[in-house]
Amino acid sequence: MQVERVVPVADIYIATDDQRIVSECETHNMQWVMTSTQCMTGTDRVAQVAETLAAEWYINVQGDEPFLDPSGLQRVIDTALSADRDIAVINAFTPLDNEDEFRSPTIPKVVFTQAGKLLYISRAAIPTNKSLGFSGANRQVGLYAFRPDALSTFARASEKTPYESIEDVEILRFLEMGYQVSVVEVPRGGIAIDTPDDLTAARRYLASATDATN
């Protein structure tokens, strides 16, 4: 498990609402927390965990990032530990140089200030020019850090905020609530699994990586 290369096992918890995942965790002696099936997003799930496990920061590595580069996780942790108090959320990103991915609605693209503060995340192809051309972009990575007070406020929402609902990107809820979200660049870690095709590609990637080490 990539996270174990950076974080002590005692500090790692799997948050889930599925007994099948719990069973898998128990098979591999992994700590788990059962959360509600009513959670609107993964961040709402993390917020439930935060109600029972006290911490200054909560780092969320989404399950669709199995090939996460451990150095990127360490970078997010280091950024959180040195963050100014006005920073409540940190989201990782990585450069996107493939136009097919740029056009893909399954891949959220991030835009941010020169100071590294998030402006917006969209499934649309942004940023672009008047001809809607591609000249480079950045994609969101499912790797986050949250302060507990921001999680608490986030989870009090009874429904998704307007842009969050349109884009189906939960970090937008923090922006819409007025929180400062900082972004940090991390290495691209293999394949993020968002679709059945991604799963097929991930299996090929894993098989080739395993063959290379044998």
What pLDDT, in 10s, does the model give residues 127-163? Answer: 999 999 999 999 999 999 999 999 999 999 999 999 9
Could you check whether the bond before residue 127 is cis, i.e. omega within 30 degrees of 0?
yes
pTM beyond cutoff 0.75: yes
Tell me the average pLDDT across 35-43.
Answer: 94
Q: Given this model, what pLDDT does residue 212 score?
A: 56
What pLDDT, in 10s, does the model give residues 100-131? Answer: 999 999 999 999 999 999 999 999 999 999 99
Q: Given this model, what pLDDT does residue 197 score?
A: 78
> Is residue 214 very low, low, confident or very high in pLDDT (cuts 50, 70, 90)?
low
30 conformational bin, left if phi > 0, alpha if psi -120 to 50, beta if neither: beta
Burial label, 189 (beta-carbon count in 10 A; 0-12, 13-18, 19+): buried
What pLDDT, in 10s, does the model give residues 8-37? Answer: 999 999 999 999 999 999 999 999 999 999
Q: Which residues pair with 14 in a beta bridge?
A: 32
Which of these, 21, 43, 108, 41, lies nearest to 33 by C-alpha position? Answer: 21
Q: Which two tokens stand for residue 193?
A: 């699994």
Backbone phi, psi, residue 121, to 5°: -125, 135
Which of these, 63, 66, 54, 51, lies nearest to 20 by C-alpha position? Answer: 63
Q: Given this model, what pLDDT does residue 68 score?
A: 78
- What domains sit in the chain, N to C, each tagged with a CATH number? 54-213 (3.90.550.10)
In angstroms, rounded to a whole number, what is the distance separating the alpha carbons of residues 39 and 198?
25
Instruction: Provide the 3-class DSSP secondary structure of residue 184.
Output: strand
The better pLDDT of the pair 74, 207 is held by 74
